[in-house]
């Protein structure tokens, strides 16, 4: 029997999770969704996400697909999953997927946002990075501009990044101010482990005057330097959107 492929757009607060990907003994986004699906279908199912967000990182639109082993009659997939999932993980919308669609490998562009708060906050302490230093924003914007285009981001990724190569093509990289917040927006065809956090953290070091724009350029060019990239904390980072060439026909509510 042919299995039916389903696509989910999932929003989550990553504060209580060890990241998206399954990790034995730790709560993860993938683990919670697979547990919910197992309750529905009464057998283990594997889900595939567009990317592996780190511990504490959030998502507005993580895209996930899975293959249903059989049809469940009168199924409202979104409502059923949201009944079984914890409240900090929500399925926003669902779609039937073509067999050629893959949440990770079919993606052509991913969009992230990092939020820095310039004031102390109690309510958003797990959703922004409170940073009270005076910052040279113009220098940070110069660094953000350097990132545009294709580069080898070896200096800005975790040593855990086991990939064939570390080149990414960046189509957007910019800092914007919104009230007492500074928001870094970056889009690329792919991202490496901890890459956005390392870029953000290192740019703020330039903003603080601890590094120069030339230092940042040397890191980007993988030149020998007596320092390493600085990694920002996870709670300010959000996966905002994933783009595909294969159209997704989302169910209408």
Give the pLDDT score at 74: 78
∠ CA 51-53-57 to the nearest 5 degrees?
Answer: 150
Residue 189 neighbours by CB distance under 10 Å: 15
Please check whether residue 8 is in contact with residue 65, taking contact to mean a CB–CB distance below 8 angstroms.
Answer: yes
Element (H, E) at 219: helix 213-220
**108-240, which class in CATH?**
alpha beta
Give the pLDDT score at 162: 62
Tokens describing residue 157 = 């990724």
The domain limits of the chain are 4-105, 108-240
Element (H, E) at 32: helix 29-41
State pLDDT tens for residues 219-239. 999 998 999 999 999 999 999
- What length does the chain have? 253
Identical topology for domains 4-105 and 108-240: yes
Please check whether residue 6 is in contact with residue 65, taking contact to mean a CB–CB distance below 8 angstroms.
Answer: yes
**Which residue is it, tokens 């330039």?**
206
Q: Say which CATH topology domain 4-105 has.
A: Alpha-Beta Plaits (3.30.70)
214 noted as active-site residue: no
Give the pLDDT score at 208: 97
CA distance 196 to 181: 17
Give the pLDDT score at 1: 53
CA pseudo-torsion sign 147, 151, 153, 155: negative
Q: Which of 16, 87, 93, 98 is nearest to 57 (CA)?
A: 16
Give the pLDDT score at 160: 65
Residues in the chain with pLDDT < 70? Answer: 1-2, 159-162, 253
pTM of the model: 0.94
Give the pLDDT score at 2: 64
Contacts with 184 (C-beta within 8 Å, 6 or more apart), sequence order: 113, 114, 116, 144, 173, 174, 175, 196, 199, 200, 203
Diameter of the chain by CA atoms? 62
State pLDDT tens for residues 142-174. 999 999 999 999 999 986 656 778 999 999 999
- Among 13, 54, 136, 245, which one carries the catalytic annotation? 54
């Amino acid at each position: 029997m042919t299995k039916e492929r389903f696509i989910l757009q999932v929003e989550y607060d990553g504060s209580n999770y060890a990241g998206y990907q399954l990790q034995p003994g730790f709560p993860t986004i993938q683990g919670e969704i697979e547990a919910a699906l197992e309750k529905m279908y009464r057998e283990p199912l594997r889900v595939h996400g567009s990317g592996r967000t780190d511990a504490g990182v959030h998502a507005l639109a993580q895209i996930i697909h899975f293959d249903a082993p059989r049809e469940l009659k009168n199924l409202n997939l979104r409502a059923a999953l949201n009944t079984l999932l914890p409240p900090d993980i929500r399925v926003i919308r669902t779609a039937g997927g073509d067999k050629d669609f893959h949440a990770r490998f079919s993606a052509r562009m991913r969009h992230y946002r990092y939020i820095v708060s310039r004031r102390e906050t109690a309510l958003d302490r797990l959703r922004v990075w409170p940073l009270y230093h005076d910052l040279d924003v113009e220098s940070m914007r110069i660094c953000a501009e350097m990132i545009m285009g294709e580069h080898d981001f070896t200096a800005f990724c975790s040593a855990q990044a086991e990939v064939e190569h570390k080149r990414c093509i960046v189509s957007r990289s910019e800092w914007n101010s919104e009230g007492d917040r500074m928001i870094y927006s970056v889009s690329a065809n792919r991202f490496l482990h901890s890459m956005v956090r390392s870029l953000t953290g290192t740019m703020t070091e330039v903003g603080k005057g601890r590094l120069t724009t030339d230092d940042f350029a040397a890191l980007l060019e993988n030149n020998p330097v007596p320092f390493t990239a600085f990694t920002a904390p996870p709670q300010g980072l959000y996966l905002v959107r994933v783009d595909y060439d294969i159209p997704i026909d989302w169910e209408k509510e």
